[in-house]
Copies of this chain bind each other. A is one copy, B any other.
């Protein structure tokens, strides 16, 4: 019954989700410390979660707090040095995606991680832990579709949130749709195909909200990857799903296909009314992936307890980032673009 003591860094929206999961939904975890440069976030940790070890400085937390591990949910630019500091302090590390914001930093972080071979660094690609995705992976491993050779991935954020995203000034800071959104679909592709990408071509357009184009991004992006083993990947990412939050993935193999979530139904209820037969859909990623956020941390905690390696590594973070940057370059330059390794 020994529980893993955790310090969390960052208590914004996603940070709070992780913090609540650690505090209340994962029996073997104990959330004992929190770190944030924002006072309100520390107040939240104290008042809502009852945490008493509070820090403004990440390095101080990892060095002083009575913790076994850290969960990093800070801005992406902070990830590399915080990973390093935590490893140096002997802590196990769970870090939200992305690993870093440039490929150089990803590579540098890989090197650092390699210096601590006995410590865990797990990256938060939560979709892999969604029960439907995990089930698909199991079925594929069991041979249900033969050899997978094509992944078709769709990821569309809800139109309901789009205008406020634009108004918040998010677009120019986002890195663009291929970095910000497609990276999840890209990770799934690599995971299902068990192969790395060779080249990519990409397109984009902005028919509903011209602000995306104005800011050098696109509202909807399409990309097509060729993998080193000859497999292929098609991506469609967007910002304007009218029906909710639409994440759909199909893995095509020599003996069959598995398609995940063509109808992103809110639940099992179906309405028959004057519109016809209607399924209401999930609104956003917290609704769609709430369970995944718990399950990925369960894996992390299990790895810590049983001293095993997590299924998502820093290399996955680097590879997905490389593919996303290549897609972005392909979109910007209108040319088939090699994926760096």
Could you tell me which A residues sit within 8 Å of B by CB distance? 1, 20, 23-27, 50, 131-133, 135-136, 139, 144-147, 149-150, 152, 199, 201, 203, 205, 207-208, 220, 222, 224, 226, 230-232, 234, 236, 238, 240-244, 246, 252, 254-281, 334-336
Contacts and interface: CB of A to CB of B under 8 A. Distances in A.
30 contacts: A23-B27, A24-B25, A131-B267, A132-B268, A136-B269, A139-B269, A139-B271, A144-B271, A150-B222, A201-B224, A201-B336, A222-B232, A240-B254, A242-B274, A243-B277, A246-B272, A255-B273, A256-B272, A257-B273, A260-B268, A261-B268, A262-B262, A263-B277, A264-B277, A266-B276, A275-B278, A276-B278, A276-B279, A278-B278, A278-B279
Q: Which of A145, A201, A260, A261 has the most CB of B within 10 A?
A: A201
Copies in the complex: 4
Contacts of A139: 269, 271
Given A27-B23, A207-B254, A273 B224 contact: no
Nearest to A224: B224
A203 B222 contact: no
Contacts of A268: 132, 260-261, 264-265
A211 to B, nearest CB: 14
Contacts of A201: 201, 224, 336
Contacts of A27: 20, 23-24
Nearest to A254: B208
Q: Which of A27, A135, A145, A271 has the most CB of B within 10 A?
A: A271
A267 B129 CA distance: 13
B336 A149 contact: no
A229 to B, nearest CB: 9
A115 to B, nearest CB: 36
Nearest to A248: B268
A255 to B, nearest CB: 6
B242 A273 contact: yes
